[in-house]
Structure 1
Amino acid sequence: MFSRKLAKSMRERLRAERRENQLIEARAKEEISFIYVVNPPEIPRIAFGSGLERVTLPMSGPSLTPFMRKIQGEVREFPGPHEYNTTKDLIKKNASKYGNAPFVSKLPRLAQTATSAYPPVGTYHVHPPKKLKQAARPFNVGALQKPVEKFTTTGPANYAIDRQSPNMKICSAFGSKRIIWPAVAIICSPVNNAKCSKCSSTPIGDYYHQFKLNLDLCRSCMKKQLRILKRCTTDLYYRARMRNELNQYQRVRYCGFFHDHQGTTAAIQLMSKSTLKYKIRTENYLYTYHKL
């Protein structure tokens, strides 16, 4: 099959377009800095046959984001109270230019301050009461009266019912025995080898011990570390690391308060067992409310 022969006018138009493209390519090869740019067509301003400005973003509703609400400002079709130019006083003597109606109340809008007929506080002449002479025998009874005892019981509102108290450390040994471990661990050794890792002094009384690294810390140094921990200038990372390190310390004490080793493994009892048990039982109760 042979292709259909084009008309003469069609062949001439194709020949002219081909010649124009060849001229453009030859000019582009001669001039290296030439950039062939095709201007895009201009977008018509009229949309749907109307040239009015349209709101493309939502002005209200769930589709309005906080950023859009911030940049669009106040959207209202009426002027605000501060945009009126009031040249005349708004307070008029008569509400209408024709005057007042009959039987209208002509009392002032705001009532006057009422004055009291009684003198205020501070103007009274108060005389101090005379001291009465105490009778020798109240109610004709010569016996000594029992003094009123001071009420030392804690009030109901002083109990922190919303805060659960921690449980005591109890060793039941599967029901064979029941041992309440002391709230403060007791280190029993012939010689007190405790030494503070900060000030290198021997702690007096209770101190803090870290069992993993075998480090000691006296109470004064612990208070200094807690004071540094509460400073506003302390870095957050350093505060978290410091709190983690201080939580590993436990309160301990040397065994010299209830027996004396005198440098040997044997010990001389300085406190009876009943007194020691009462002391441990009392401290276990009080240390449930203790904070580091």
Structure 2
Amino acid sequence: MLFGDEPPAKIVFGTTLNRPTFPTDIQHDCFGNYQTPLRGVPNLGPGSYENDEKTTFQYVLDHQPMSNRGYTFNARTSKRNVFPTKNDVPSPDTYQMDLTNLPEKKHSFKPFNFGGDRLPSLAKRTKIPGPGSYECDVKQNRQVHMRHSFGGRVGLIPVVKTKCMPTNEDKCEICQEKPIGDYYQYRKEILCASCFNFNWQWQEKFKRAYLLAFQKVRDCSDIHEHGGTTARVQLVDDRRVKKLQRKEAYLSLYWP
């Protein structure tokens, strides 16, 4: 031998040394300094634990931590009522439908039930309207009209214009009566709702092309009180007025 009578140590690459097994041994790094390895019996299997005794509902009730002082976890001074367990409960089979007395199914005369009625359940529904009963020529992409400005705020264009005046002296051009509720106005011509609808249908005095220029208006008696003067007293909050205007603008898209 080159190095004497004694054989050299077989420690090349640590092949003959005892290799540490984790997590029972400690790692020689920063992670091993902060993380404590497992202690106890490392080869203990899951079947060695008494899970059937420690995890029962009765065991939890008997070994539930209680507080005699009235504070901390599960704080109470009186003993908790323990309800007895019930074992005489029905089995899952009792909730299933009894299939023993069902009538025997008839076999179809033709294979794959070829001679049966097609969609028999839908044929009996006579109250459902057909495809031709629906109105297809409806206006799509309806949007509320808004007032835009460059760099300014976006405002809603009200469908019904509110006329702020001390006393309402407007009269209908046809019936010469004071309109009740909302009415229509174009320049100085005024029409009540009934006369406007009558002329829109029969075109007695005004044509429909001319009636399109009329705008629906109303007086401010519901939101203001003038008392015969130009001064006004607010009767309704501005939020309710804006909410009503938004609702009217949306409903006007479907019921003009």
Quick check: TM above 0.5? no
With structure 2 as the length reference, what TM-score do the two structures score?
Answer: 0.44
Structure with bigger gyration radius: 1
With structure 1 as the length reference, what TM-score do the two structures score?
Answer: 0.39
Higher share of residues assigned helix: 1
